[in-house]
Structure 1
Amino acid sequence: MSSVLLSVLLCLVSAVAYASAAIVQERVAATTPGGPCGPLRRPGWWGAVALTGLGAGLHVVALAYGPLSLVQPLGALTIVFALPMAAVAARRPVGAAGWRGALLATAGLAGLLTLTGPPHAETLDAAQRPALAAVALAGAAVLALGAHWARRAVVRGVALAAAAGAAFGMASVFTKAAAQDWTSHETDFPAFTVLITAVLAATGMLLSQASYRGAGLAAPLATVTTVNPVVAAAVGTAVLGETFRYGVTGGLLAALAGTVATAGVITLSRLTPAGPDRGHPGPAADGTATIPGARRGLTHAGAKPE
Structure 2
Amino acid sequence: MSPLLLPVLLCLVSAVAYAAAAVVQERVAATTPGGPCGPLRRPGWWGAVALTGLGAGLHVLALAYGPLSLVQPLGALTIVFALPLAAVSARRPVGAAGWRGALLATAGLAGLLSLTGPPHAETLDPAQRPGLAAVAVAGAAVLALGAHWARRAVVHGVVLAAAAGVAFGMASVFTKAAAQDWTSGRTEFFVFTALVTAVLAAGGMLLSQASYRGAGLAAPLATVTTVNPVVAAAVGTAVLGETFRYGVTGGLLAILAGTVATAGVVTLSRLTPPRAAPHPSDTTSTVPRARRGLTHATAKQE
Structure 1 CA distance for aligned equivalents of residues 57 and 87 of structure 2: 26
CA deviations on 1:170-201 (whole Å, 9 max, x unpaired) are 00000011111122235546100000000000
Counterpart of 2:284 in structure 1 is none
Q: Which amino acid aligns with 2:88?
A: V
Name stretches of at least 5 consecutive residues in structure 2 with no aligned partner: 280-302
Counterpart of 2:48 in structure 1 is 48
Structure 1 CA distance for aligned equivalents of residues 215 and 245 of structure 2: 36
Counterpart of 1:92 in structure 2 is 92
3-state DSSP of counterpart to 2:126: coil
Structure 1 CA distance for aligned equivalents of residues 251 and 103 of structure 2: 22
Q: Does 1:228 align with 2:219?
A: no
Q: TM-score, normalised by structure 1?
A: 0.89
Name stretches of at least 5 consecutive residues in structure 1 with no aligned partner: 276-283, 289-306
Identity over aligned residues, as a percent? Answer: 89
Q: Does 1:287 align with 2:283?
A: no
Q: Which amino acid aligns with 1:99?
A: W
1:122: Cα distance to partner? 3.5
Q: Which amino acid aligns with 2:200?
A: L
Counterpart of 1:239 in structure 2 is 239
Q: Which amino acid aligns with 1:6?
A: L
Counterpart of 1:183 in structure 2 is 183
Contact 2:216–2:274 (Cα < 8 Å) also in 1? no
Structure 1 CA distance for aligned equivalents of residues 93 and 278 of structure 2: 18
3-state DSSP of counterpart to 1:213: coil
CA deviations on 1:116-159 (whole Å, 9 max, x unpaired) are 01123332111211111111111111111111121100000000
Structure 2 CA distance for aligned equivalents of residues 188 and 176 of structure 1: 16
Q: Does 1:259 align with 2:259?
A: yes
3-state DSSP of counterpart to 1:243: coil
1:287: Cα distance to partner? 2.7
Counterpart of 2:172 in structure 1 is 172
Pairwise CA RMSD: 1.2
State the 4+ residue runs in structure 1 displaced beyond 6 angstroms: none
Greater helix proportion: 2
Q: Which amino acid aligns with 1:81?
A: F
Q: Which protein shows a greater Rg? A: 2
Counterpart of 2:285 in structure 1 is none
Counterpart of 1:292 in structure 2 is none
Q: Does 1:198 align with 2:198?
A: yes
CA deviations on 1:9-42 (whole Å, 9 max, x unpaired) are 0000000000000000000001000110100010
3-state DSSP of counterpart to 2:272: strand
Structure 2 CA distance for aligned equivalents of residues 97 and 66 of structure 1: 33
3-state DSSP of counterpart to 1:226: helix
Contact 2:126–2:189 (Cα < 8 Å) also in 1? no
1:235: Cα distance to partner? 0.2
Q: Does 1:213 align with 2:213?
A: yes
